[in-house]
Structure 1
Amino acid sequence: MGCMMKRHFQIVLMGLGSLFLLAACSTPTAQSAANEIIRPEGQEVIVWHPYDGAAREALLQQIDEFNAVNPWRIVVVPEYHGAAEDLGRDLAAAAQAGAMPELAIRAPAEVWSLGAAVVPMQTYVDDARFGLTEDDLADLFPAMLDIARDPKLKTIIGLPLGGEGVVLVSNSDRLAAHNYFEPPSSWPLFREVCQAITRDTTNDGQPDVFGFGFNPRADFATAWLNSRGGSIISDDGTRASFNAAEGVNTLRTLQETASSGCFYRTTDEDMIREFARGKVGLIFAQTTQLPEIFDAVEARGGFRWSVAPVPYGRRDRTLTISGPAWFMLRSTPQRQLAAWLFVRWFSETPQTVRWSQLTGLLPLRQSAAQGLAAEFSLNAGLKVAFDLLTVARAQPDVPQWDSIAELLIHAVNAAVDGNDPERLLNEAAQAADALLNQ
Structure 2
Amino acid sequence: GVRATATIVLTVRVSDVPLTLTTDPITITLWHAMGEANQALLQKYADSFQLLYPNVTVVIPAGVGNYDTLKNNMINAITGDAMPNMVQSYPDHVAEYLNGNAVLNLNPYINSAAWGLNGADSIDDIIESYLEENSQYDAAGTYYSLPFNKSTEVMIYNKTAFDALELDEPVTWQDVIDAAPALKEYGDAIAEAKVRAANPEMIEEDLAPLIAAAKNLIIPASYDSTGNAFITFTRQFGGAYTSINFSTFQGQYLWNANANTTAAMQFLKDNNDVITLPEYWDQQYASTPFVNQQTFVTIGSSAGVRYNVPAIDPTTSEPIFEIAVGPVPYNGLQPDNKAVIQQGTNIALLKTGTAQDQLASWLFLKHIINTENTTDWAMATGYLPVRTSAYTSATYQTFLNTPTANQLYISMAANAAYKQSGYMFYDPAFIGSSRARVQVGLALERIMLGDGDIAAALQEAYTEANLGGS
Indicate how the Cα distance of structure 1 residues 352 and 231 shifts in structure 2: closer, same or farther if over 3 A, else same: farther
Q: SS where residue 164 of structure 1 aligns?
A: strand
Match in the other structure for 1:306: 324
TM-score (norm 2): 0.77
Return the letter of the residue paired with 1:110.
H
Indicate how the Cα distance of structure 1 residues 217 and 97 shifts in structure 2: closer, same or farther if over 3 A, else same: same
Equivalences for residues 240-319 of structure 1 within 5 A: 240-243=253-256, 244-259=258-273, 265-266=280-281, 269=284, 271-294=286-309, 296=311, 301-312=319-330, 313=332, 314-315=335-336, 317-319=338-340
Return the letter of the residue paired with 1:98.
D
Distance in 2 between residues matched to 1:96 and 1:248, nearest whole Å: 41
Work out which of the residue numbers 382, 397, 415 in structure 2 matches 1:373.
Answer: 397
Indicate how the Cα distance of structure 1 residues 35 and 326 shifts in structure 2: closer, same or farther if over 3 A, else same: closer
1:167 aligns with 2:154: yes
Return the letter of the residue paired with 1:240.
Y
Distance in 2 between residues matched to 1:360 and 1:165, nearest whole Å: 11
Unpaired segments ≥5 residues, structure 1: 1-12
Distance in 2 between residues matched to 1:392 and 1:157, nearest whole Å: 21
Identity %: 20
Q: Judge conservation of contact 1:276–1:300 (CA < 8 Å) in 2.
A: no
Distance in 1 between residues matched to 2:45 and 2:384, nearest whole Å: 16
Distance in 2 between residues matched to 1:254 and 1:80, nearest whole Å: 41
TM-score (norm 1): 0.82
Work out which of the residue numbers 198, 203, 217 in structure 1 matches 2:184.
Answer: 198
RMSD after superposition: 3.3
Match in the other structure for 2:252: 239
Higher Cα radius of gyration: 1
1:60 aligns with 2:60: no
Q: SS where residue 94 of structure 1 aligns?
A: helix
Distance in 2 between residues matched to 1:267 and 1:375, nearest whole Å: 36
Match in the other structure for 1:100: 83
1:394 aligns with 2:426: yes
**Deviation of residue 47 (structure 1)?**
1.5
**Deviation of residue 95 (structure 1)?**
2.2
Q: SS where residue 258 of structure 1 aligns?
A: coil
Equivalences for residues 22-61 of structure 1 within 5 A: 31=14, 39=21, 41-42=23-24, 43-61=26-44
Indicate how the Cα distance of structure 1 residues 355 and 205 shifts in structure 2: closer, same or farther if over 3 A, else same: closer
Return the letter of the residue paired with 2:80.
A
Distance in 2 between residues matched to 1:37 and 1:368, nearest whole Å: 29
- CA deviation profile, 1:124-179 (whole Å, cap 9, x unmatched): 22334422238823221122224444344332221121211011211122234444
Match in the other structure for 2:198: none
Equivalences for residues 137-152 of structure 1 within 5 A: 137-152=123-138
Q: Judge conservation of contact 2:226–2:442 (CA < 8 Å) in 1.
A: no
Distance in 2 between residues matched to 1:159 and 1:66, nearest whole Å: 18
Return the letter of the residue paired with 1:156.
Y
Work out which of the residue numbers 58, 76, 82 in structure 1 matches 2:58.
Answer: 76
